[in-house]
Amino acid sequence: MPIYHTLGQIPKKRHTVFRKPNGGIYAEELMGHEGFTGTSALLYHTHPPTTVKSVKRLCETAYEADPDRALRHRHFLTAQAKKGGSPTLGRTPLLFNQDIAMLYVEPDQEPEKQDTHFYRNAQADELVYVAKGQGVLQSVFGDLPFGEGDYLVIHRGILHQYRFDPAGDAPKLVVFESRGHVRWPKRYRNEFGQLKEGAPYSERDIRVPQKLTTHDEMGDFRLVVKQYDGLNEMVLDHHPFDVVGWDGYFYPWAFNIRDFEPIVGRVHQPPPVHQTFEGDGFVVCSFCPRPYDFDPNAVPAPYNHSNVDSDEVLYYASSEFMSRKGIEFGSVTHHPDGIPHGPHPGRAEASIGATHTNELAVMMDSFRPLKVAKQAIAIEDPSYHKSWIDQQHAGFNPPTT
Ligand SMILES: [Fe+2]
């Protein structure tokens, strides 16, 4: 994350004595990507972060694929997913490959049901789209408030906890687990890392942790760490959020989808103009409300396309999408490599002459084929692949909850 940020107290020079008021020394920790060479931060702990009292393997989390591999377009209805549970441990896997996994969760928001453990994903960066709900992401880096439409970027290794606002909307989170680092697209940055003029967002749109609270408490504190495709429990002998200060380029951050500045043209612009993030083996794009193409003969709906060398996944964050019928808020469509897809019947015609769209959607394109997770079958619309010819399906309007 190429913006330098600092919170709390830090010594004037790194790796030098930094004394506590009682004369002891704060414990310095480097945390970052790729060992000592990627983006990193230096944190100063009240207690060493290494004082683990016990460890145990909790469970395996390797995702299992739907055995039915018949190539077809798929549609999943997250409105029918289970309600409640932990935002970190209660997720339903939907799609996955070696590079990226997409999961969904509607966690509890009541204060008494919030996670008591601290969570760290050690094998993936997490990109979390907050479709509904608001709260605060707490971490060793401080508090990062979030709300509807936010993308939260939680790099691997960052210990965190969600605190949802019980007065807000019931939370709905779409989680992407990325084996590679989640980052700004390279073409948006200059050689110094700064976002260029013409990029669809700027540094001013990036929100960073703003409030650091130091917890100097001894006791048993439960950490859950995802590593080796499973969950591991560690008990630490002190509160892990005991940092008095930090600085660097590695921390959780937020970007709201409505701060994405759409790029429009005289005729239809291809999906890369909507790109928001890149990872290894995938990209994430934001389809936001915008004026339509302005040539009088333009067809604003996308042309049919064969997405060779990529699978396309869309999460619909509103019930409107220019090229689709029969989708609802929370729908997830998967258009795999190997079959063309395009607008539903009537949608291309309906788009001609239209002046704007209010659609809001998050797209993840993976470069390697995705597998459907077994758990997603329970919320699948099984006839979606016929929806381009099936008039009954074209009027499909499933009940929402
Ligand atoms: Fe597409």
C-alpha of residue 307 to centroid of ligand 1, in Å = 7
- pLDDT score of 214 more than 80: yes
pTM of the model: 0.95
Q: Are 243 and 140 in contact (CB under 8 A)?
A: yes
C-alpha of residue 305 to centroid of ligand 1, in Å = 6
Phi, psi of 199 (to 5 degrees): -65, 150
C-alpha of residue 312 to centroid of ligand 1, in Å = 6
C-alpha of residue 270 to centroid of ligand 1, in Å = 9
Q: Which residue has the higher pLDDT, 359 or 392?
A: 359
C-alpha of residue 82 to centroid of ligand 1, in Å = 28
Mean of all residue pLDDT scores within the chain: 94
Helix (H, G, I), strand (E, B) or coil at 85: coil
Tens digit of each residue's pLDDT (9 = 90 or more) over 125-173:
999 999 999 999 999 999 999 999 999 999 999 999 999 999 999 999 9
C-alpha of residue 108 to centroid of ligand 1, in Å = 33
C-alpha of residue 178 to centroid of ligand 1, in Å = 21
Tens digit of each residue's pLDDT (9 = 90 or more) over 35-73:
899 999 999 999 999 999 999 999 999 999 999 999 999
| Residue matched to tokens 């990226």 | 100
C-alpha of residue 271 to centroid of ligand 1, in Å = 8
C-alpha of residue 33 to centroid of ligand 1, in Å = 32
Residue 393: predicted pLDDT: 60
CA 59 to chain centre: 23
The environment of the single-atom ion ligand 1, i.e. residues with CB closer than 5 A, is 312
- pLDDT score of 356 more than 70: yes
Is residue 258 left, alpha or beta, with left meaning phi > 0 and alpha meaning psi from -120 to 50? Answer: alpha
C-alpha of residue 117 to centroid of ligand 1, in Å = 39
Tens digit of each residue's pLDDT (9 = 90 or more) over 81-131:
999 999 999 999 999 999 999 999 999 999 999 999 999 999 999 999 999
